[in-house]
Amino acid sequence: MCDYSLHAIATRTAEVGEKLVCTRFPFTTTRGFTGESEPLVAVCLRPGTEIAFDREAEFDGLLFRKRTGERLARFRQIDTDKPHHHHDALEFASGKIVLVTDLTIGQTARVLQLPAERQDNVVLTPAVRNVVLVPV
């Protein structure tokens, strides 16, 4: 997803293995990810996308830059009931949640894994429907 404030910016979805760069987008106060070769195109992550920062992830605090102490994160959205707030966030293994717009500019990360696609048209064969599980 891409935050509400990026509606006027060109966007595309992330791809596995892609290197992302944290940037501030022109004419906005919002930060987000771009691809290395497309600095003006926002790369949108779907909830559940896993990324690995090249170094320990950093974000801007009230006065000083802070470190998360971690490199791996999973993208999620928070406060979706508040329409005029930033929703895009990263959750680290420790449980710490950092808004994408608070990430320090210039950091790089790689997309490790995209979330599984939902399969609505899956048809079970008769052999699969009649499986009986026997406790051991």
Q: Order of strands across the sheet with 38-44?
A: 11-13, 38-44, 31-35, 19-24, 108-113, 50-53, 72-77, 88-92, 97-99
Determine the Cα–Cα distance for residues 48 and 111; give it in Å rounded to an integer. 11
Residue ranges for the chain with pLDDT beneath 50: none
Residue 27 DSSP label: T
pLDDT in tens, 116-134: 877 666 665 555 555 566 6
pLDDT in tens, 88-103: 999 999 999 999 999 9
What pLDDT sits at residue 135?
Answer: 66
34: its two tokens: 């771009």
Rounded to the nearest angstrom, the gap between the alpha carbon of residue 66 and the centroid of all alpha carbons in its chain is: 19
Determine the Cα–Cα distance for residues 112 and 88; give it in Å rounded to an integer. 18
What pLDDT sits at residue 123?
Answer: 63
